[in-house]
Amino acid sequence: MSERYSRQVLFSGIGPHGQEKLKASHVLIIGAGALGAANSEVLVRAGIGKLTIVDRDYVEESNLQRQQLYTEQDVHKKYPKAAAAKRHLEEINSEAEIHAFVMDAVPQSLELILQDVDLIIDAADNFETRLMVNDLAHKHKIPWIYGACVGSFGMSFTILPGKTPCLNCLLRTIPMQGINCDTAGIIGPAVQMTVAHQTAEALKILVGDWDAVRTTFVSFDLWNSQYQSIKAGRAKRDDCLTCGSDAVYPYLQAENTTKTAVLCGRETVQVRPPALVQLELKQLAGSLNAQGYDVKANPYLVSAENDGERIVVFKDGRALIHGTKDVVYAKSLYQKLLG
Ligand SMILES: [Zn+2]
């Protein structure tokens, strides 16, 4: 074995056998924001063989304070986070196989990439996505690690289908909805601490050290020096629609996946096309330019700005309408420009 992982192999929890297991593993990370960037870096440095990362957004200046994989160049080029992450991760570890998807995390797309996934890491920024991941993980019996942070606060829980309570069960007993990214801001250490909990669990699961896997729901507030670890085993409910005996996976139903959404913590609305499309971005850039828009483009997206209106359109036809939370206005602008 190369020198590269020598310090990790020395650690008794991993050893040479564990290192081989890491190399043979495939991890799916949902989201390439602060949690996704840091989770993916730790795991790729640790030597996982294959990583798939899914994200719908692109890198902006306000991300640099805590989203550790990204650079000013990524901001300047308006690179999608998944694509930028792939590039940086390949620079860090050329042996890792990295797959990046610039798309919405919706069940129809995710089911196609789940076949050989050993573990899912939650790095999403909203509960709708997490509940969908919870359903997917249970349907396909894949462990997943919940993580969330805001302000100086963070939390994590390891969910093993068939063993632990699921996110749906937990929501009934542990108050988690209070966590959102709207107004509280966030400091980097809250991200790092959440990621430390998630990646430590990930390593245990990937090497198969099931006895070491944490069974409690952990939460902390770094600014106020508080740390909590709550026993969660009794939260499991047999009538749960995701993990109970009559599971129906409610969040995988088509009507629960919204087409238009206000993005977490931002004056931005995402509009999705009614059907799958692949846009000809050059043509779109030309047409927006002719309509008086100031246009910037890269192989993944077109960004157009005019009179305070700012819209970013991706290859898959999704658009982010910035500067508004008004869904009706966003849809009408989308119709006008892409109709
Ligand atoms: Zn459940």
- Which helix (H) or strand (E) is 130 found in, with range? helix 127-139
Residues with CB under 5 A from ligand 1 (ion): 166, 168-169, 240, 242-243
| 127's tokens | 């509960």
**Cα gap 159→169, rounded to integer Å:** 11
The answer to whether residues 114 and 195 belong to one domain is yes
The answer to whether residues 83 and 222 belong to one domain is yes
From ligand 1's centre to the CA of 137, what distance in Å?
Answer: 11
The answer to whether residues 191 and 165 belong to one domain is yes
How deeply is 182 buried, as exposed, middle or buried, from its count of CB atoms within 10 A (0-12, 13-18, 19+)?
exposed
The answer to whether residues 112 and 153 belong to one domain is yes
The answer to whether residues 31 and 93 belong to one domain is yes
From ligand 1's centre to the CA of 164, what distance in Å?
Answer: 8
From ligand 1's centre to the CA of 208, what distance in Å?
Answer: 23
From ligand 1's centre to the CA of 96, what distance in Å?
Answer: 34
Domain with 57, as residue range(s), is 3-255
The answer to whether residues 225 and 262 belong to one domain is no
The answer to whether residues 76 and 99 belong to one domain is yes
Predicted pLDDT at 180: 57
The answer to whether residues 171 and 320 belong to one domain is no
% of the chain beyond a pLDDT of 90: 74
> Tens of pLDDT along 105-162?
989 889 999 989 999 999 998 888 999 999 999 999 999 999 999 999 999 999 999 9
Q: How far is CA 339 from CA 6, 49, 317, 334, 336, in A?
A: 56, 42, 11, 7, 6
Number of domains in the chain: 2
From ligand 1's centre to the CA of 240, what distance in Å?
Answer: 5
From ligand 1's centre to the CA of 144, what distance in Å?
Answer: 13
Query: Is residue 99 helix, strand or coil?
Result: strand
**Mean pLDDT, residues 20-45 taken together:** 98
> Tens of pLDDT along 204-214?
999 999 999 99
From ligand 1's centre to the CA of 235, what distance in Å?
Answer: 8
* CATH of residue 87: 3.40.50.720
